[in-house]
Structure 1
Amino acid sequence: MGTREDVYQLLEEKMLKYADYAEVPVIEVDEVVLFEAVPQQGVLRVEHIDAEMSELTGRAIYVRRPVVDMLYAAGQELKSLDRSLTLRVVYGFRALEVQTRLFDEAKESLRQQYPDENELTEAAHRHVAVPSVAGYPTGGAVAVELLRDGEPVDMGTPVMQADRDAFTFSPFVSRDAWEYRQLLRRAMMAAGFAPFDGEWWHFSYGDKEWARYYRRPGALYDQVSFADAQKVDPDADLAL
């Protein structure tokens, strides 16, 4: 199988890169409205874990309207696979301003290793997505994990922690963690999300990653600043 480093490199080579997303057009931009994802008893829990975005959003996690419904569908799919499992959403919309700062920091930390600007951009993108293609600032991407009987299960690495064993198909995690990752991936894809296999927790709908993964003609959503987005309580729109 080769060394551990060889395996990581093989897995990484199969992942889509910034260059794969850069030319994906946005073909359907509607009014920018973000809906709050709310819990559904026994099916979906919503608990923001990022202190920086919580300063802007409080405890709320915002996503596009279809993503709200798709999260419920994924939670229901999980229940059909294993009644003891619950889907927990820990991250959703990220302000474009925050994404830009995080990417710039990643780029600066790698600048000495990658003197070529294109290589530097790709390297930084592997840590933090280039803002122009990033999913979180569109409201279409989410970070999720699994609970069993209300408690987090072993997914191999902590959610949203940079680690190459966070690659969905890393063979260096426990058998239980591997199986939980596949259950999560199956449920989220059944609901219509695209996986990002560089992070077992990351799934999206309507962004450039989703469009590229499913070979759609273009993305449905563009990036947006938090200040420009209209935030809506889902109960004020449609009963969920």
Structure 2
Amino acid sequence: MGTREDVYQLLEEKMLKYADYAEVPVIEVDEVVLFEPVPAQGVLRVEHHPHARSELTGDVIYVRRPVVDMLYAAGQELKNLDRSLTLKVVYGFRPLEDQTRIFEAAKDALRGQYPNEPELTEAAHRNVAVPEVAGYPTGGAVAVEILRDEQPVDMGTAVMQADRDAFTFSPFVSREAWEYRQLLRRAMMAAGFAPFDGEWWHFSYGDKEWARYYRQPGALYDQASFADAQKVDPDADLAL
């Protein structure tokens, strides 16, 4: 049996990389670019992750219109599996401006280790997705966790924590955390989301990760700036 480091490397080798997403096209869809706030009602709880808060979006979690319905479907699926469980949404749309800023900072931190630009881009992508393939700026990606009786459960790491034990299939978390991760993955995939197994909390619909995972001809959504996110459905309920 290999070392713990060997296990992490094996898990990481199985994950899709920037090069896997770079050539995925964005196809035309007959849909107005509308973003909606995720309402904290029924089977969903909503609370913006404090460390991922953007000055542009504030405490409101925006997603593409179809994603709202999919989140409700995932929340209902989780309830069907165990009535005491609730889906909590902690992150959604990240403006392209923010993604670019964060990615460039990640590149700068690694520049001394990777003088070759393609290698630097790929290395930085392992920490922060390259803007043109990133899911959060499309409004199709979300970060979620599970509550049991309205309290957070053990997922092995904190949500959005930079730690290799955040890999969905890390064998170094408790059995309880492992089982909750699989429940979350099952509920989200049943609703049509694609998992990103480098982060147990990250799921997406319509972006390049989703297209590549499900072998679709292309992504449905392109990255959007904050100005695009202002095209919010005027009939949407903004009360969280």
TMscore range, shorter length: over 0.9
**Structural mapping, 1:1-240, within 5 Å:** 1-29=1-29, 30-41=31-42, 43-50=43-50, 53-232=53-232, 235-236=235-236
Can you list the C-alpha shifts for 1:35-58, whole angstroms capped at 9, x where unaligned? Answer: 1110122x1001111456343223
Counterparts of 1:91 and 1:8 in 2: how far apart (Å)?
A: 26
Counterparts of 1:151 and 1:234 in 2: how far apart (Å)?
A: 33
Counterparts of 1:58 and 1:2 in 2: how far apart (Å)?
A: 45
Q: Per the alignment, in what secondary structure is the counterpart of residue 27 of structure 2?
A: coil
TM-score normalized with structure 2 length = 0.94
Can you list the C-alpha shifts for 1:112-134, whole angstroms capped at 9, x where unaligned? Answer: 11111111111000000000000
Counterparts of 2:83 and 2:124 in 1: how far apart (Å)?
A: 40
Q: Does structure 1 conserve the Cα–Cα contact (< 8 Å) formed by 2:36 and 2:236?
A: no
TM-score normalized with structure 1 length = 0.94
Structure 1 gaps, min length 5: none
Q: Per the alignment, in what secondary structure is the counterpart of residue 131 of structure 2?
A: coil
Structure-2 change in CA distance of 1:59 and 1:16 (3 Å): same
Q: Per the alignment, in what secondary structure is the counterpart of residue 55 of structure 1?
A: coil
Counterparts of 2:16 and 2:44 in 1: how far apart (Å)?
A: 29
Structure 2 gaps, min length 5: none
CA RMSD of aligned residues (A): 1.4
Structure-2 change in CA distance of 1:219 and 1:175 (3 Å): same
* Percent of pairs with identical residues: 84
Structure-2 change in CA distance of 1:233 and 1:147 (3 Å): farther
Shift of 1:229: 2.5
Shift of 1:231: 4.1
Shift of 1:228: 2.7
Q: Does structure 2 conserve the Cα–Cα contact (< 8 Å) formed by 1:35 and 1:234?
A: no
Can you list the C-alpha shifts for 1:147-194, whole angstroms capped at 9, x where unaligned? Answer: 000000010000001100000000000000000000000000000000
Counterparts of 1:21 and 1:52 in 2: how far apart (Å)?
A: 24
Shift of 1:32: 2.2
Q: Does structure 1 conserve the Cα–Cα contact (< 8 Å) formed by 2:37 and 2:236?
A: no
Counterparts of 1:228 and 1:203 in 2: how far apart (Å)?
A: 22
Counterparts of 2:52 and 2:191 in 1: how far apart (Å)?
A: 29
Structure-2 change in CA distance of 1:14 and 1:78 (3 Å): same
Shift of 1:233: 5.2
